[in-house]
Structure 1
């Protein structure tokens, strides 16, 4: 987990979204719930617990608190209550926390990749969500500023 604490570790407050409403629409979320979700200011906290475990807490329109073991594939439920398989990896060279998720069973989930990384110029945390099977690779970005 080299470089985790110095880069993405800590508490982050949402500054702005790019294509978030469209992302929620693609995920099957109705108009009213999308507008509520877009109006919320999300706070995310990333904590390294040891060399293999990371805790990810997100407070916004929906609270989530999970501990992931890097490199392990596990079954979970996404924020939209769909069953998914999830695998999280940390790349110490690029300092990117990458999550891959795939639908399981009769889930309505979509294949997705989430990368969390720091923009070296602005020092903002960029959370980029890619739906590779949508519109030639739909991308949503959520930009966060570190909370001191």
Structure 2
């Protein structure tokens, strides 16, 4: 059975999942943020089969999240470096970290985000850049954007009420 592609759906979440929705891909990106760049480093860190790692790295390169750079000619060896698109994934990883610590770490957090200068543990929240208010505030909701098709507009009208059409 062939997997459905989300790449051409209008939903930005579906399009994002097409690029990073497989757990190995997210863990590879996590390791990139921790400074890993080489195939053998990812393989050791993740305990992933080489053929699966190759597929996931190629997919992340094709999606524009990683850049493949040759660092050795004989034999040819490559490293994988985050692109701007890949670096923009950092807040998603940090949000997953905080959510996982809150809901799935009964023993307590094993990884936290800290202020490098003070060592203070951060308590990150997503905020609206304009108002500074947290996006968890009930005043915020999703709404169809300028490129929304009829299906997206109907979905939002059904689930959000009359104010969804912003």
Higher normalized strand content (fraction of residues): 1
Structure 2-normalised TM-score? 0.21
Give the TM-score normalised by the residue count of structure 1: 0.22
Higher relative contact order (CA 8 A, sep 6+): 1
The structure where helix makes up a greater share of residues is: 2
